[in-house]
């Protein structure tokens, strides 16, 4: 089913780092896979990807999306860094803070009932939340080798059989971007747990065997 126009507009207007084709692909994958088990996103920022995935969950009408972010921004989004946005800067704390923008966008898109926000560090939650099963895992949190591999080892193997592992910012050529997500994708394919499905712009899509 094509995505609801109103939700799509709010997703496209939200601040963030996701192309329309990538978002629509996440929407379709979430619609397909959320009946298997809930979806899980690492790196929500202001809710752009969250809206696409949660709308897929809403249409399938079975399971919600857990949306994880500490909402303090990645290294490259801090003051003085290339992806810094002054509109998200909290002067008192000396850090960016995205939770207000995130909640407002989820509300505007009418998706409050389909998103369960988790406001903490990914590795911290990974120490406690084991043996969960997800229909779709979308990795778009910290982009260092350490963060990206930690996200994969905490959450990748929790994709249910038939479910999807989606990794954002896959740049096969280092001239175009950081290599950590691509290294994670390559590693996931060596485990024998996943088949490669497709790449839509920089969104890598794997399916759990």
Ligand X SMILES: C[S@@+](CC[C@H](N)C(=O)[O-])C[C@H]1O[C@@H](n2cnc3c(N)ncnc32)[C@H](O)[C@@H]1O
Binding mask 63-92 for ligand X (x = CB under 6 A): -----xxxxxxx------------------
Residue where the block lists tokens 């590795």? 123
What is 62-130 written as a DSSP string? S--EEEE--SS--GGGSTTSTT--GGGEETTTTEE--HHHHHHHHHHTT-GGGEEEE-S-HHHHHTT--
- Beta carbon of residue 174, minimum distance to ligand X (angstroms, whole number): 18
Closer to ligand X by CB, 55 or 147: give it.
147
Give yes or no for residue 18 binding ligand X (CB under 6 A). Answer: yes
Give yes or no for residue 141 binding ligand X (CB under 6 A). Answer: yes
Give yes or no for residue 154 binding ligand X (CB under 6 A). Answer: no
> Token pair of 190, please?
């060596």
Closer to ligand X by CB, 65 or 192: give it.
65
Give yes or no for residue 105 binding ligand X (CB under 6 A). Answer: no
Distance in angstroms (rounded) separating the CA atoms of residues 82 and 194: 34
> Token pair of 157, please?
């193997």
Q: Name the residues annotated as catalytic.
A: 143
Chain residues binding ligand X by CB under 6 A are: 16-18, 43-45, 48-49, 68-74, 98, 121-123, 140-142, 147
């Amino acid at each position: 089913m094509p995505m609801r126009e109103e939700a799509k507009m709010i997703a496209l207007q939200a601040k963030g780092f996701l192309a329309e084709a990538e978002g629509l692909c996440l929407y379709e994958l979430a619609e397909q896979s959320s009946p298997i088990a809930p979806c899980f996103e690492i790196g929500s920022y202001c809710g752009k990807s969250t809206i696409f995935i949660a709308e897929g969950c809403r249409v399938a009408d079975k399971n919600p999306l857990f949306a994880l972010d500490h909402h303090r921004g990645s290294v490259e989004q801090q003051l003085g860094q290339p992806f810094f946005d002054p509109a998200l800067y909290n002067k008192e704390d000396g850090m960016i803070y995205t939770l207000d923008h995130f909640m407002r966008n989820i509300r505007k898109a009418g998706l409050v009932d389909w998103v369960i926000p988790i406001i903490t560090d990914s590795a911290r939650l990974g120490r406690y939340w084991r043996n969960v099963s997800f229909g779709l895992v979308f990795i778009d949190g910290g982009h260092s080798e350490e963060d990206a591999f930690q996200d994969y080892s905490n959450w990748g193997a929790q994709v249910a059989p038939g479910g999807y592992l989606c990794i954002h910012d896959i740049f096969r050529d280092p001239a175009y971007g950081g290599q950590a997500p691509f290294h994670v994708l390559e590693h996931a394919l060596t485990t024998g747990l996943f088949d490669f499905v497709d790449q839509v712009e920089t969104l890598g899509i794997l399916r759990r065997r």
